[in-house]
């Protein structure tokens, strides 16, 4: 886009943006003729993708601000009215709205609520910050037609976002995602209403305990051994961090009600959009748990737990034999939870017929082996919890191939142990992990001991993840070039291991919907996957490798897996220029 086009779009934005801070920011950029920054803010519109919006906070059409949020909500409202014309005509459409601790989350959430209200859609707006899984729960509890949560999940502090949900509490999937995107891109007029008028007309409703209390009760109801907790609660010590986000209220309350002592990292307990104590508020990042582990060592904790800012992701660290703490990966945590759920259901005689778990195509292959060990099916889906929810939805309709859902997980620290929520739930994962820790403690074992036992059953599995960011206008083209090259000239080997099969899901494959994903199945059983991120300007690589445990024992298997993954890592880095 040439300079005149950038100036024209900037002036158009200034004319429409009612927030003085965002508007004046763009005016200052024009006055100082900061063309590089102006180009980045206006060369495109911030894309409303299949998961909603996510971007850097600031003025401009390629930023997160009130005008962009209002436009997105107007498009979503228009789609709802077309999707449910009878409910719209009767004034019975409704939406639930939650928000996290990020900068402008309160303002964006209320702006969205008022756009819904202006379109005749009742908005149920939480009174203060709440976790993403509670938003999903609220949609189902209140019978809403849609919902949004204002969050950028685990991104750095300069970001915010907007996740859109459908009436079953899951993020939108086809055909609704494409329909909503079309409406968002077609918005010409944004309907608005004053806050007091919306309240007076009953189109804006403020909620809190009427959803909080049922949600907390649900979390506690998913436990298998509440008696064990009551008996042994005093024996376990938990250190927890919400990483300046939304998790403290529910994690502390749910576990506290069970008689458990939760020691929350004081410097990270309160919501703070600056996330001042961490570089990235993401439990996937080892550094994010540094303060919690330090406190855990001081308190001699049995488990250190963390949730990300919107409390959908969950990570832990546990004491090891060397006197320190070992971080448990998302794949390992999924294995441990699956094992505990299957074991508990079997022991209690409640494992349903046709029981099944769901994981994503980039999650460790160990989970499928473990599920088979228990006689449980393991269904795969595309990356993202909305696809896990989509499989759940399909099964609930019945018919050929329908299963009974017992657990869902993805490698990026996401777990779902209930059906009342249709997104990953860090709060319920925290509660069940506490019970699981107590259970294995009662057997004289740690979680690491149990994980080693599972390696003996399933083989040793290790995973690799690599992400490469490509910022700016050229980023999408660079990532497309990488994917195109892989498609036109796929590697014959990765890490010196022959590629036995290539699965390209661009147009759908093996029952999976279309997605820009390539998978390389190596001759030794290793799987390498590559895909551009759907929410950030980066390309992501995943590898899952198994080494059988032979005469050399577990240590030899670990060394073999590490050697294979190091060679694969070298090949990937050569492609992405590292």
Residue 340 has φ and ψ, to the nearest 5°, of: -65, -40
Q: In whole angstroms, what is the distance from residue 332 CA to residue 540 CA?
A: 20
CB 423, CB 132: distance < 8 Å = yes
pLDDT tens digits along 42-93: 999 998 876 789 999 999 999 999 999 999 999 999 999 999 999 999 999 9
Report the pLDDT value the prediction gives residue 336, as an integer from 0 to 100.
98
Is 153 catalytic? The answer is yes
Confidence of residue 577 (pLDDT cuts 50, 70, 90): confident
Share of the chain above pLDDT 70, in %: 99
Report the pLDDT value the prediction gives residue 457, as an integer from 0 to 100.
96
What is the average pLDDT across 312-331? 96
| pLDDT at position 454 over 90 | yes
Evaluate the omega torsion of the peptide bond into residue 175 and state whether it is cis, within 30 degrees of 0. Answer: yes
The angle at the Cα of 139, spanning 136 to 142, to the nearest 5 degrees, equals 140
Q: In whole angstroms, what is the distance from residue 388 CA to residue 491 CA?
A: 30
Residue that the structure tokens 């240590």 belong to: 555
What is the average pLDDT across 427-432? 97
pLDDT tens digits along 147-160: 999 999 888 999 99
Averaged pLDDT score across all residues of the chain: 95
Q: In whole angstroms, what is the distance from residue 7 CA to residue 24 CA?
A: 15
Report the pLDDT value the prediction gives residue 517, as an integer from 0 to 100.
96
Evaluate the omega torsion of the peptide bond into residue 131 and state whether it is cis, within 30 degrees of 0. Answer: no
Q: Is 528 exposed, middle or buried (0-12, 13-18, 19+ CB in 10 A)?
A: buried
Nearest Cα residue to 412 out of 448, 362, 458, 473: 362
Virtual torsion, Cα 178, 182, 184, 189, nearest 10 deg: -160
- Domain annotation for the chain: domains and CATH numbers: 64-214 (3.40.120.10), 234-327 (3.40.120.10), 331-424 (3.40.120.10), 460-576 (3.30.310.50)
- Cα distances from 560 to residues 39, 461, 519, in angstroms, run 49, 10, 22
Q: DSSP 3-state helix, strand, coil percentages of the chain (rounded to 5)?
A: 45, 20, 35
Q: Residue by residue, what is the 3-state secondary structure of 219-253?
A: HHHCCCCHHHHHHHHHHCEEEEECCCCCCHHHHHH
Nearest Cα residue to 489 out of 475, 477, 497, 499: 499
Backbone torsion region of residue 453, taken as left when φ is above 0, otherwise alpha when ψ lies between -120 and 50, otherwise beta: alpha
Which of the following is catalytic: 78, 101, 136, 153? 153
Report the pLDDT value the prediction gives residue 48, as an integer from 0 to 100.
84
- Cα distances from 299 to residues 229, 286, 296, 322, 445, in angstroms, run 20, 19, 5, 17, 20
pLDDT tens digits along 334-368: 999 999 999 999 999 999 999 999 999 999 999 99
Residue that the structure tokens 């198994």 belong to: 546
pLDDT tens digits along 181-220: 999 999 999 999 999 999 999 999 999 999 999 999 999 9
The gap between the terminal CA atoms of the chain, to the nearest Å, is 30
| pLDDT at position 535 over 70 | no
Q: In whole angstroms, what is the distance from residue 285 CA to residue 132 CA?
A: 20
């Amino acid at each position: 886009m040439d300079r005149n086009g950038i100036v024209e779009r900037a002036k158009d934005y200034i004319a429409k943006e009612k927030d003085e801070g965002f508007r004046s920011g763009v005016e200052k950029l024009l006055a100082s003729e900061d063309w590089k920054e102006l180009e980045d803010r206006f060369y495109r519109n911030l894309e409303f993708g299949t998961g909603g919006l996510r971007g850097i906070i600031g003025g401009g059409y390629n930023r997160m601000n009130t005008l962009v949020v209002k436009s997105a909500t107007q498009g979503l409202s228009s789609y709802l009215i077309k999707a449910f014309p009878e409910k719209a005509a009767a004034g019975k459409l409704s939406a639930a709205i939650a928000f996290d601790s990020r900068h402008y989350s309160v303002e964006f959430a209320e702006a969205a609520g008022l756009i819904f209200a202006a379109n005749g859609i009742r908005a149920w707006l939480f009174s203060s910050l709440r976790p993403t899984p509670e938003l999903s729960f609220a949609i189902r509890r209140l019978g809403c037609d849609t919902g949004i949560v204002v969050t950028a999940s685990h991104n750095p502090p300069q970001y915010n976002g907007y996740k859109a949900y459908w009436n079953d509490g899951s993020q939108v999937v086809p055909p609704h995602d494409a329909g909503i995107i079309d409406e968002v891109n077609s918005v010409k007029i944004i309907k608005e209403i004053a806050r007091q008028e919306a309240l007076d007309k009953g189109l804006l409703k403020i909620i809190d305990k009427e959803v909080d209390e049922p949600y907390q009760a649900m979390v506690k109801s998913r436990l298998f051994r509440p008696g064990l907790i009551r008996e042994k609660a005093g024996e376990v010590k938990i250190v927890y961090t919400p990483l300046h986000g939304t998790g403290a209220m529910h994690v502390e309350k749910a576990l506290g009600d069970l008689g458990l002592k939760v020691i929350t990292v004081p410097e990270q307990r309160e919501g703070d959009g600056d996330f001042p104590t961490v570089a990235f508020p993401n439990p996937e990042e080892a550094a994010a748990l540094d303060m919690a582990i330090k406190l855990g060592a001081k308190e001699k904790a049995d488990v250190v737990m963390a949730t990300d800012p919107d409390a959908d992701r969950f990570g832990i660290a546990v004491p090891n034999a060397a006197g320190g703490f070992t971080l448990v990966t998302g794949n390992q945590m999924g294995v441990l939870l699956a094992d505990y759920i299957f074991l508990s259901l079997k022991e209690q005689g409640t494992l349903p017929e046709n029981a099944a778990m769901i994981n994503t195509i980039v999650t460790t292959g160990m989970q499928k082996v473990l599920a088979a060990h228990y006689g449980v099916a393991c269904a795969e889906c595309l990356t993202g919890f909305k696809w896990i929810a989509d499989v759940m939805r399909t099964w609930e309709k019945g018919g050929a191939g329908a299963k009974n859902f017992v657990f869902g997980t993805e490698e990026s620290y996401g777990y779902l142990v209930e059906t009342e929520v249709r997104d990953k739930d860090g709060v319920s994962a925290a509660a069940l992990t506490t019970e699981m820790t107590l259970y294995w403690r009662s057997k004289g074992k740690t979680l690491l001991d149990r994980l080693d036992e599972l390696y003996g059953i399933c083989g040793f599995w290790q995973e690799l993840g690599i992400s490469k960011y490509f910022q700016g206008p050229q980023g999408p083209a660079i990532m497309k070039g990488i994917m195109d090259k892989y498609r036109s000239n796929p590697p014959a080997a990765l890490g010196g291991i022959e590629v036995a099969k290539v699965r390209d899901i661009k147009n759908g494959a093996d029952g999976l919907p279309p997605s820009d994903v390539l998978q390389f199945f190596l001759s030794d059983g290793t799987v390498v996957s590559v895909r551009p991120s759907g929410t950030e300007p980066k390309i992501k690589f995943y590898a899952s490798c198994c080494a059988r445990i032979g005469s050399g024992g577990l240590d030899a298997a670990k060394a073999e897996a590490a050697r294979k993954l190091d060679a694969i890592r070298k090949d990937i880095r050569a492609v992405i220029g590292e």
